[in-house]
Amino acid sequence: NAGVMQNPRHLVRRRGQEARLRCSPMKGHSHVYWYRQLPEEGLKFMVYLQKENIIDESGMPKERFSAEFPKEGPSILRIQQVVRGDSAAYFCASSPQVTGEQYFGPGTRLTVT
């Protein structure tokens, strides 16, 4: 059973461009979480999704950020018009049920130049 997959592992964008981060959960997992880790900080919750539904987006910035988890395919975290402050590691986690442990992917390290 492959673990949580994220791609790309590293992403460089210039200010104003769009960043798309992908997450494929573990097989059989239908719950996906996105977290952001700023340099030398812990992880901060961004959004929790189930297939085709956003359940909790209380940690998402109000503008420029969006997330989806379509019926088919990976979950996508999209950042429009990136700014330098968006530079961080973005981690995806999945769990098989609401009360299950969360298993993390290797992360996408976004650098905005």
Partner 1 sequence: GEDVEQSLFLSVREGDSSVINCTYTDSSSTYLYWYKQEPGAGLQLLTYIFSNMDMKQDQRLTVLLNKKDKHLSLRIADTQTGDSAIYFCAEIFMEYGNKLVFGAGTILRVKS
Report d(CA 5, CA 17) in Å as an integer: 24
Residues 107 and 89: beta-carbon distance below 8 Å = yes
83: nearest Cα among 43, 111, 52? 111
Question: Which residue of 8, 16, 18, 44 would you call a contact of partner 1, by CB under 8 A?
Answer: 44
Q: Which residue number, 12 or 83, has a Cβ lying nearer to partner 1?
A: 12
Rule CB under 8 A: say whether 91 interacts with partner 1.
Answer: yes
Q: Are 46 and 59 in contact (CB under 8 A)?
A: yes
- Residue 95 as a binder of partner 1 (CB under 8 A): the answer is yes
Stretch that binds partner 1, among 11-19, 20-28, 48-56, 69-77 (CB under 8 A): 48-56
53 binds partner 1 (CB under 8 A): no
Does 107 engage in binding with partner 1 (CB under 8 A)? yes
Residues that bind partner 1 (CB under 8 A): 4, 31, 33, 35, 41-45, 48, 55-56, 58-59, 91, 93, 95, 98-107
